[in-house]
Amino acid sequence: MAAVEELSEPGSLSEEEREAVRHQLFRLADDEFVLAERYTEWQVKAPTLESDLAFSNIAQDELGHARLWYDLLQDWGAEESELIWERDPSEWRHSTLVELPFEEGDWSDPVLRSYLYDVAEDIQLRALQDSTYPRIRDRVGKILGEEDYHREHAASWLERLCEEDESRARVQDALDRLFPHALTLFAPTDEAVEDRIDELGIRSEPLVTMREEWLDEVVPFLESLGLSVDDAELPEQYDVHHSQLELPEHTGRDQSHTDDWFDLYDEFTRSYRELGRTSAARIMKDPDDE
Amino acid sequence: MDIEEVKQRAGPREFSPKDDMPEEYRKAATRMIQFHANSEIMGAYLEKPFIRQAPSLDRKLAFSAKVQDEIGHGQLLYRAAESLGIKTRDEMLDELAEGEGKFLNCFHYPMDSYVETPMIAFFVDGAAMRRQATLKSTSWEPYAHAMDKVCFEEGFHVKHGEAILYELMTGSKKEQEMTQEAFEEWWPRIIQFFGPTNDKSTHHGFASEVGLKQMGNDELRTAFLNAYIPKAEKYGLEIPDEPRISKNDDGTYEVVEEDLDWDEFFTIAKNDYEPGVGQIEGRKASQDAVEWVRESLDNHENRLYGSSQPQAAD
């Protein structure tokens, strides 16, 4: 890639640059937030007290990462509540992988979902380590460290669950269901903006290259556990021009979502609405706080 | 060791698994610690929906961390209970699922609204803190040891609850009214947290004599009211007229017992209170749904170490 110049401060970006940075940030922030929102469903419901503790930790890590990314989006004036609790659900950009609901007791799903996601996240974060946008670059290191542990956790659960036919069959079911949605992790928000993200050097690898890298890692691992990843066996899968064919109806990235997302959004914003905490009705600060 | 010797020696952290304790002591301690451990788990179950309902990222993180802490306390306490050699952790968890395990009265009432969360996180946790602080000097050393960590973390939980209460009571008029309404509903339950007066409490005598319990219900209730009535008022909550509470000259409080619904309290104590049964069964259903995972883990352990090994999940 040709040498690219470092981008300037948030306030001095051109409109096109700003749009590219924001698309990249929403990809990251929305994924982490919605995934964590789903993960916390397993708290008090995991198979053992120990797995409950471990999974809670992971959910909190992801929430923390979401906060780091939303924080950068606040550089342009929006508050956290506006970015999360007041943003229209049809404007979110997370992959559909992270919004799908869990079926009661289907522990194979969060474990597999975590694996598919964490490998992808690792690849995406490494492509941001040399970002031309310094505020993204500075935050990558901390997150990468925690993701290593998440991946190890997920992989070791998968290994165990795949030791036996019965539990492996459950993982296979989850894989059949989740795999097309996992591919949306690499789907574009908007082709032109994604190209700009690459041209500006906000990330160092285009989506298609990262997707290939992801397939090269997850497919052999899953197959080594006796699982079958049908689509991925086809060489076309690696052909960028087929990408649209393999994706589910909604990719999330392009702001089209499954009904489950809108239900989830309604649930997590319920208290916020009940308490009347919309920006328009925001009350004065307590004078004692000044 | 016979009971007489136990009573004579009964001091803080006096006994541990190295001692040969009489069965009566081990059973009483198991009952107490199991109750405490169950309460941690059911408290976590009660608060879990508010991880989702929390209206900001910080609050969401705090609720998730708190629920995680409670599960961790449960884990720690079941271990302390197991060390008495009466029941295994699996047996205790099964009893909880089957509706035989007892737990705190307040955790039998489901919460519907976010404004109820400080009732648990500030008042009930504050009340629990009072009791738990005294348990750092219980005579069963593993229990006291667990309390060191539990109390440390509970301190954060109470602050979390207090911050939410402050936020709600300095919020809109609507928020303040909703919070007052929740307080009125919860206040009698919170007073009952400490149980009936000492003379009516079935297990109090023996547990005190052998040093398991360090302070009676009455003393704890008084200490709690002394600290929390002013706090509630400071945040603008009005103390309901009932139960009638009067302050004596010596600083102790008198609660008019007949103003409280003891039928409900004892129905709860037997796990027969309808909404509470729903909580117990809801948790059981989610645990049954992942039984296949525990079986799979057991098989994994057995393949690795042979079937004689105790199972250790990840």
B193-244 pLDDT per residue, tens: 988 876 666 656 899 999 999 888 888 898 899 999 999 999 999 999 999 9
Which tokens sit at A129?
């380590």
pTM of full prediction above 0.90: yes
| pLDDT score for A232 | 46
CB contact under 8 A, B114 and A275: yes
Chains A–B, number of C-beta pairs less than 8 Å apart? 144
pLDDT for B87 beyond 60: yes
Which of 164-223 (B) contact A at CB < 8 A?
Answer: 168, 170-172, 174-175, 178
Tell me how far the alpha carbon of residue B158 is from its chain's centroid. 13
Model confidence over A92-101: pLDDT tens digits?
Answer: 999 999 999 9
CB contact under 8 A, B114 and A277: no
Enumerate helices (H) and strands (E) in chain A, giving the number of each. 12, 0
| pLDDT score for B312 | 52
B308 touches chain A (CB under 8 A): no
B11 touches chain A (CB under 8 A): no
| pLDDT score for A5 | 87
From chain A, the residues in CB contact with B65 under 8 A are 56, 60
| pLDDT score for B253 | 82
First to last CA, chain B: 38
Average pLDDT over residues A57-75: 97
* Best residue in A40, A44, A104 for a mutation probing chain B (most B CBs within 10 Å): A44
pLDDT for A245 beyond 50: no
Which amino acid type is present at position A91?
E
pLDDT for A252 beyond 50: yes
| pLDDT score for A240 | 46
pLDDT for A281 beyond 90: no
pLDDT for A167 beyond 90: yes
Q: Decide: B214 and B138 in contact? Cβ < 8 Å.
A: yes
Residue A208: count of CB within 10 angstroms of its CB: 16
CB contact under 8 A, B68 and A60: yes
CB contact under 8 A, B285 and A104: yes
CB contact under 8 A, A56 and B283: no
Q: Decide: A17 and B281 in contact? Cβ < 8 Å.
A: no
| pLDDT score for A290 | 45
Mean pLDDT of chain B: 92
List the single range of A77-86, B79-88, B122-131, B249-258 with lowest mean pLDDT: B249-258
Q: Decide: B100 and B45 in contact? Cβ < 8 Å.
A: no
| pLDDT score for A282 | 46
pLDDT for A236 beyond 80: no
* Best residue in A114, A275, A284, A286 for a mutation probing chain B (most B CBs within 10 Å): A275
Minimal CA–CA distance to A194: which of A30, A23, A15?
A23
Average pLDDT over residues A45-65: 97
From chain B, the residues in CB contact with A281 under 8 A are 172
pLDDT band at B307 (very low <50, low <70, confident <90, very high): low
SS (H, E, C) A84-149: CCCCCHHHCCCCHHHHCCCCCCCCHHHHHHHHHHHHHHHHHHHCCCCCCCHHHHHHHHHHHHHHHH
pLDDT for B123 beyond 80: yes
- CA B206/CA B24 separation, integer angstroms: 10
| pLDDT score for B106 | 95
List the single range of A137-151, A260-274, B30-44 with lowest mean pLDDT: A137-151
| pLDDT score for B55 | 95
Mean pLDDT of chain A: 90
pLDDT for A285 beyond 60: no
- CA B232/CA A261 separation, integer angstroms: 39
- CA B191/CA B106 separation, integer angstroms: 10
- Shortest CA distance from B299: residue in chain A: A164
Q: How far is A155 from chain B (nearest CA, A)?
A: 12
**A226 conformational bin, left if phi > 0, alpha if psi -120 to 50, beta if neither:** left
